[in-house]
Structure 1
Amino acid sequence: MSYKREVFVSVDVETSGPIPGEYSLLSIGACDVDDESRTFACEIKPLNRNADPKALEVTGLSLDELDRMGLTPEDAMKRLREWLGGLVSADDLLVFVGFNAPFDWSFVNYYFHRFVGANPFGFSALDIKAYYMGATGCRWADTRSSRIAAEVHPTSRGNHKALDDAMYQAELFRLIRRRAGTKE
């Protein structure tokens, strides 16, 4: 039986609120988990003015500035799709990796389907929190990034900048994978 080569892509997003459609995807950062020199980042024009003030405070992003400087959602998703296509051949499998992947994946999935018609990641994602819980047998409460970092000792830190966070997540994933003895 032959297996497809799996290309793990760490993805982080910053948004204006908790759910896609009602709130906007504001920035995307992504990197190849096993080759962090291969990165993608962009900021996106908001769909509307809906925003949770706390979400904007955390990201430091401005809807007004993104209206002026951001890519259209369609252009952003086309560029991300093109970048992802450069990571894989037709026989490879893209794997979306995220820290609290259901949140990030929901926005990426919504935007891919709405603006370019299909999600190159398919309908699933690998959640680092769940992976860590499975690898260590810890409790769900012990899957916060600060607790994981205290155990695996990454050299980087998250800062709510999408690309920086994607790279931090990639490091966490590699360290957990190594600790679990998972084949790389």
Structure 2
Amino acid sequence: MTSPREIFISVDVETAGPIPGEYSLLSIGACSAFDPDNGFTVEVKPINDKFDPKALEVTGLSMDELRQRGLDPDAAMKAFSDWLATLDRPNDMLVFVGFNAPFDWSFMNYYFHRFMGKNPFGFTALDIKALYMGATGSSWRDTRSSKIAEHLKPKLSGTHDALQDARYQAEIFRLIRQNLIASG
């Protein structure tokens, strides 16, 4: 019997504030970490009117526009779940990969459980910042994306577009893994 494959999915979210439930998930971007052209993106209707102005300033998203064009949260999470299902086979393990994964995973976990009844990632979340810190021995302060990019020289950059950022994160993840393999 073969071991289950681990399917690494780079995920980025844009939100209306710092915590799920009180603030809305506004957009999801995801891609296969080793096939970043295979991506998914969706904008989500807010679940309430609460927002942190700084969060919206960073993303450039508008709560009013998302109420019009975003998918209802249940439809958005179903679409994301359906896309994830195209990537794995029975017994495979989906691994959530994020830059500051605790933040992004908390929104994904909340929304999947609230609107789908379960999270296809289970409790698997890999934090790129922690991986980088462990791989390089850097300080936590040096795990900012600008510092990591200075060291790894990725071709992409972060833009606060969820799909673009998921692809950027996937590149950072691959570069860290390549450096670990090369040095190990």
| TM-score class normalised by the smaller sequence | over 0.9
* 1:124 counterpart letter in structure 2: T
Number of equivalences: 182
1:23 aligns with 2:23: yes
Unaligned runs of 5+ in 1: none
Give the aligned partner of residue 113 of structure 1: 113
1:84 and 2:67 aligned: no
**Matches of 2:4 and 2:134, distance apart in 1:** 23
Q: Which amino acid aligns with 2:146?
A: S
Structure 2: gaps spanning 5 or more residues: none
Determine helix, strand or coil for the equivalent of 2:68. Answer: helix
Corresponding residue for residue 163 of structure 1: 163
Q: Matches of 2:109 and 2:91 in 1, distance apart?
A: 22
Equivalent position of 1:32 in the other structure: 32
C-alpha displacement at 1:3, in angstroms? 2.2
How much identity, in percent, do the aligned residues show? 65
d(CA) in 2 for partners of 1:37, 1:136 = 28
Residue identity in the other structure for 1:39: G
Q: CA RMSD in A?
A: 1.0
Amino acid at match of 1:171: E
1:149-179 deviation per Cα after TM superposition (whole angstroms, max 9, x unaligned): 0111000000100000000000000001000
Q: SS in structure 2 opposite 1:142?
A: helix
Give the corresponding residue for 1:62.
62
Asked whether 1:177 is paired with 2:171, we answer no
The code of the aligned residue for 1:25 comes to L
Deviating beyond 3 angstroms after TM superposition, the runs of 4 or more aligned structure 1 residues are none
Q: Tell me, what secondary structure is at the counterpart of 1:181?
A: helix
Offset at residue 2 of structure 1 (A): 4.1
Residues 94 and 124 in structure 2, CA contact (< 8 A), matched pair in contact too: no
- Contact (CA 8 Å) 2:5, 2:91: kept in 1 or not? yes
Q: State how far apart, in whole Å, the 1-side matches of 2:172 and 2:37 are.
A: 16
Amino acid at match of 2:156: S
Q: Which amino acid aligns with 1:29?
A: G
What secondary structure is seen at the aligned counterpart in 1 of 2:41? strand
Partner Cα separation in structure 2 for residue 8 and residue 160 of structure 1: 21
Rounded Cα–Cα distance in structure 2 between residues aligned with 1:91 and 1:47 = 34
Displacement of 1:137 after TM fit?
Answer: 1.0
